[in-house]
Amino acid sequence: MHTQHAKKKTILVGQSGGPTAAINASLAGVYETAHACGAHTLGMRYGIEGFMRGGVVDLDERLADPLSVELLERTPSSYLGSCRYKLKPHTQDPEPYHILFERFEDFGIYAVLYIGGNDSMDTIAKLSAYGEEVGSDVRFIGIPKTIDNDLVLTDHTPGYGSAAKYIAASMSEIVRDSSVYDLKSATFVEIMGRDAGWLAGASCLAESSGVATPDLCLLPEVTLDTDAMLNVIAHVLEVKNTAVIAVSEGVRNASGELVCATTQDAADGTRLDAFGHVASLSGTGRFLASLTRNRLGCKTRAVELSTLQRCASHMASSTDLHEAHALGGAGVLSALDGMTGKMTALVRASDVPYLVETALVDVQEVANKERKVPRSFIRSDGMGVTPLFERYARPLISGEISPIMAGGVPRHIDPLGGGLA
């Protein structure tokens, strides 16, 4: 059915926001499904922003070799390039909409698929609403992606499982490394996530390796009381030499200020990106390590996992990559069936055995909303997660994808290279 519908139709796909270890698996899912349905696939270079400046690549040509698609699925980062471009409402600034829809017409675009997080869904929501208003036939579908796992109306988001797997594995190794000396010490491991604690909570998944989980896990959903934190650390150090603390970059103090802002210049700490988010969250671990050293007199260390969380394809979750691929393919099929203004999503049918299904949700209900870790997933003292969190997250990190090795390191797809004039 889809092959007949798709004849001579062109799918335009873009990637936006932060890269992950799974975003290219969604791109592969888009390309392979479109190809199987007889559709032509074009890619945006550097997202919507680059597309407005003429950035287009023919994916039918670039990915014609089956090995290229296989490498694409195993390659971290955003193959097409990304952007953080915010479309204003067309009533405030109509020019970008005029440019985009003219280009859609010039390229004969049947459907636009955008792979990204909250801000990318905002873009799809605005484009689909404008398209409906002006009577455009172009379909607009969002494909979810974010390591932060903070999109609503989906059980979880591709990119999260692989980042969580890397965090769990790294935490297991850090716990072992920190315990080799016979002295009192506290190690703070700073983890991404912005205003949601899903990634920091994933540190509890280190337990399956036979190593205890971090002694504390500090999430943005709970205001950080540093005195209470220091009391817990002091108690831990009474019974063993080492305390390991997982801390989200986005934790806030009682005044509502980001802890990381205390380690940055005022201008840097308040610098925002196009969507109003703090452009750089870093320093929470360093600040808390310094505070702990000064107050408790023990050795401290701060470890920032930083971008390693989102680019460690050698630790990718096969569950994550398979689901990312499926959601990309589902986006193509929904567009070919005439759907628009939707986001593909995951619905969990069962925990044991783990089973999810793909679904479509209204992208207008997703854009500009944020899903936090529920209180039932967080310990009563606010400094750790409950078994409910582990039950939710454990299946998402399951399975391994063996890298294709070359010269002793994982081989990735050749980059597109170059920028736009």
- β-sheet bridge partners, residue 358: 346
The residue annotated as part of the active site, out of 119, 122, 148, 150, is 148
At 286, which amino acid appears?
Answer: R
Q: How far is CA 160 from the centre of its chain?
A: 6
Q: How many whole angstroms separate alpha carbon 238 and alpha carbon 58?
A: 62
> Cα-atom radius of gyration of the chain, to the nearest Å?
22
User: Any catalytic annotation for residue 148?
Assistant: yes
Go through 42-74 and write b for each residue having 16 or more CB atoms within 10 A of its CB, e for each that does not.
bbbbbbbbbbbeebbbebeebbeeeebbebbbb
310: which residues sit within 8 A by CB, 6+ positions away? 18, 19, 20, 21, 76, 147, 159, 163, 192
* The CA-based dihedral angle spanning residues 64, 65, 67, 73, taken in that order and rounded to the nearest 10 degrees: -10
Give how far Cα 231 sits from Cα of 225, 227, 237, 238, 243, Å.
10, 6, 10, 11, 12
| Residues β-bridged to residue 58 | 42
Residue 250 C-alpha from the chain's centroid: 15
Closest to 32 in 3D by CA, of 342, 420, 408, 327: 327
Measured distance CA(390)–CA(370) in Å, rounded: 21
Cite the active site residues.
148
